[in-house]
Amino acid sequence: MRIGELSRRTGVPTRLLRYYEEQHLLHPARTGNGYRSYPESAVAEVQQIRGLLDSGLTTEMIRALLPYLCGPGHLVPDPGSVPPETAALLQGHIDRIQARIDCLARNRDRLTAYLAAVRPGGR
């Protein structure tokens, strides 16, 4: 399929699809006239990339992780083959996510306590 069809099927603008290619996240073939040609599997690949970006991963992290994924939520059978650098990159991201969760939980608890103090009945 050509880039316009991939864009329509995934809801991702063609400009972003070209960016994903520049970042080595997508690897379309080229036709004789230079047009990009994507396989059917590119739809799932783009959806997976979008999901990883939405979870806060950078394109650098995604590029490192993609070889070890074989679809949303599925690891390649031998996750032990993930290089230590890739594992460290992911662990750092997990740590940053946990720090944000902890900060949000503290802020929620403080706001809840504030509302309980200023509102009759607490809610």
Q: What would the pLDDT profile of 57-112 be if each residue is shown by its tens digit? A: 899 989 988 887 766 556 565 667 778 888 888 899 889 989 999 999 999 999 99
Q: What pTM does this model have?
A: 0.72
Least-confidence region, from 4-8, 11-15, 48-52: 48-52
Do you know the residue count of the chain?
A: 123
pLDDT at residue 45, as a whole number: 93
Please enumerate in sequence order all residues whose Cβ is within 8 A of that of 1, keeping only pairs 6 or more positions apart, or say none: 9, 37, 38, 39, 40, 42
Q: What would the pLDDT profile of 15-72 be if each residue is shown by its tens digit? A: 999 999 999 999 999 999 999 999 999 999 999 999 989 988 899 989 988 887 766 5
CA dihedral 34, 10, 92, 23 (to 10 degrees): 10
Give the distance, in angstroms, between the CA of residue 111 and the centroid of all CA atoms in the same chain. 31
How wide is the angle at C-alpha 92 spanned by C-alphas 55 and 110, nearest 5°? 70
DSSP 75: B
Tokens of 90: 């992911």
Give the distance, in angstroms, between the CA of residue 1 and the centroid of all CA atoms in the same chain. 23
What is the number of other CB atoms lying within 10 angstroms of the CB of residue 79? 9
Q: Residue 117 — pLDDT band, cuts 50, 70, 90?
A: very high
Q: Residue 120 — pLDDT band, cuts 50, 70, 90?
A: confident
What is the number of other CB atoms lying within 10 angstroms of the CB of residue 89? 18
Tokens of 45: 């690949």
